[in-house]
Chain A
Amino acid sequence: MLQFLIKRFGQSVILILIVTLITFFLINLAPGGPASMMRMDATAEERAALSERLGLNDPIPVRYGKWLGDAVQGDLGPSLSSGQPVMDRIVERFPHTLKLAFWTIIFSVIIGVVLGIISARNRNTWRDHTINFGSVIGLSIPSFWLAIMLILLFSVQLQWLPSAGTGEGFVGQFKSMIMPVIILSTATLPTIVRFTRSSMLEVVSQNYVRTARAKGMKEKTVIYSHALRNALIPVISIIGVLIPRLLSGTVIVESVFGWPGMGRLIVEAAQSRDYNLVMGVTVVATVLVIFSNFIVDIIYSKVDPRVKNIG
């Protein structure tokens, strides 16, 4: 286990380094510069002064070296657009994204597993077909379009749900999360449904389940006591795959619903060429994805007796 941890950690560090390298060069090569230098009415002298202040006059590799040197010491530098430490800006925004992601996973795992079981138990019946049909539709609708349509219906027409913001108070927060979570779930729910379904079918066809049936156990008992437990184990692994997808989804969802999270932050940062902020958000997001995959793997190895040696 320890060896696995060390190996995994080493790989993660290399991965993060590569991501920072690519991102740094990409964003610094972008035409234009930090937004403060990009006002219509700024004069050449003002731009020169700002460029000097922001330390943009060094060659890009030198700046990368400096950035990396500070970053390993935990200093992601100041945001070029507000002067705040990048870490502060991320810490401000991160909880909102975490909140959305957390509830989306909870929501889509619960609903997804239930639908997946229904689908598997009733395979090739209208129930199965309807659920499958719904899954495909979920995967096919552009999420922002669906979001706008929902806003038109629930916020504009019916005025039941707020069209933007995170809401105030328990009820307010709950209401403002309904639409974003539903939209985010369209990316994760169908995958979980399909995965649960095929996992169930596979387990059901296995020997021990057949044996249980042969012994004359009731179908329900077979399904719920034997099959389900084993079928759900692989579902854990799919969550690891869904996390990066979820993060991508937040970019869109946060933009549509004015949700103050990391997804919107990266778009703002890239557009305003806030180099430090782009780097900071990318690094934190990468660390997060790697870390959560890591946790998922560990849980998986604990609960699945078949996985004896991972890595």
Chain B
Amino acid sequence: MSELTQEGVAKLPIQERGFINFFRKLAKNKIAFISFVFLLLVHLGVFLGQFVWTISPESVDPANSLASWTSEHPLGTDDLGRDVLARLMYGGQITLLVGFFSMVFTVLVGGIIGAVAGFFGGWIDIILMRFTEAMMSIPNFFLALVALTVLGKSPFMVILVIAFTSWMEIARVVYGETLKWKESEFVEASKTMGSNAMRTLFKHIVPQIIPTIIIASTLGIAWAILTESAISYLGLGIQPPTATWGNMLQNAQQYIWTAPILGVLPGLSITLVVLAYNFLGDGLRDLLDPKHHKK
């Protein structure tokens, strides 16, 4: 146990030394750093690109459909003559936002359940963790499909359903971490000094598991973006004409014979962004969680 405590103490300052130091460390892990810069650029492009590239993603031009790459349409046009570049940016916004908010919900639900179960122990622990295990051992993607058929396919529903199917792993990780920190010396100290339970949880334990949560969140976004695209493929995702990378990809399937590039672009966008989030998550793990550090 004393080893863990030392580790925890050693970890504390990291969070206080601020961003610059953090980036200096991140920069040492080349892949993670490249991923970070790439993601930064993608997010800037997707969210601010519309101020530079002002063509509407919705304006149709059927006479000019499936056009190839020209200066007017740098990435060509889709089946209805809509500008592919504009749609990639516009679809990217929805995809990235769905990814982000799914992650937020996932982390909130998983984090609260894990932390509460681990911290309070006893029957709360038993009920919550049994529930978590139960949810892990059912084919929840099947349930998710049924749920989306029923509840509709708005972005909000898609976010909820993704969160519903993926919170369990975070709950388990947070649970493990909470258990570990609960028994550490300074938490014990805080308890004996008479702090109430909630205060101890939030003041002393939650900060300790934040690195874990950051890692899980990064990987969670990647997972959510992938899940969104899978749901879209089955026609159960966010409905066109609202574009997402997932449903652009699904729509492009029809054209694999005649305009395969339509499918390549959103597919590549998804793959690269998910890849970058995964690398960043791995990099952060090495950085924030020394125990996991490559031995």
Contact = CB atoms under 8 A, between A and B. Distances in A.
Q: Do chains A and B touch in the complex (CB under 8 A)?
A: yes
Interface in B111-157: 130, 134, 136-143, 145-147, 149-151
Given A11-B130, A148-B253, A19 B138 contact: yes
Name, among A26, A124, A140, A267, the residue most crowded by chain B CB atoms within 10 Å (CB to CB): A140
B233 A252 contact: yes
Interface of B: 31, 130, 134, 136-143, 145-147, 149-151, 222, 226, 229-230, 233-234, 246, 249, 253, 256-257, 260, 263, 267, 270-271, 274-275, 278-279, 282, 294-295
Interface residues of A, number: 50
Nearest to B148: A270
Contacts of A144: 229-230, 233, 249
Interface stretch (A78-86, A208-216, A277-285): A277-285
Interface string A139-178: 1111111001100100010000000000000000000000
Q: Which 5 A/B pairs are nearest by Cβ-Cβ distance?
A: A248-B141, A30-B150, A145-B267, A140-B275, A140-B274
A172 B5 CA distance: 59
A201 B293 CA distance: 12
Name, among A144, A255, A266, the residue most crowded by chain B CB atoms within 10 Å (CB to CB): A144
A15 B271 contact: no
A298 interface: no
A209 B134 CA distance: 37
Interface in A234-257: 240-241, 244, 247-248, 251-252, 255
Contact of B136 (A141, A142, A244): A244
Interface in A129-143: 132-133, 136-137, 139-143
A222 interface: no
Contacts of B139: 244, 247-248, 282, 285-286, 289
B275 A201 contact: no
A27 interface: yes
Contact of A15 (B138, B141, B257): B138
Nearest to A251: B141
16 contacts: A124-B294, A137-B275, A139-B274, A140-B222, A145-B249, A149-B267, A152-B260, A201-B295, A247-B141, A252-B234, A282-B143, A282-B146, A286-B139, A289-B137, A289-B139, A290-B137
A244 B137 contact: yes
Given A29-B150, A123-B294, A142 B137 contact: no
Interface in A165-224: 201, 205
Contact of B138 (A136, A152, A244): A244
B147 A26 contact: yes
B271 A142 contact: yes
A19 B263 CA distance: 36
A305 B146 CA distance: 42
A51 interface: no
A91 B134 CA distance: 25
Contact of B142 (A11, A123, A241, A266): A266
B263 A148 contact: yes
Nearest to A286: B138
B270 A145 contact: yes
A145 B263 contact: yes
A142 B130 contact: no
A131 B219 CA distance: 19
Interface string A24-66: 0011011100000000000000000000000000000000000
Nearest to A144: B233
A23 interface: yes
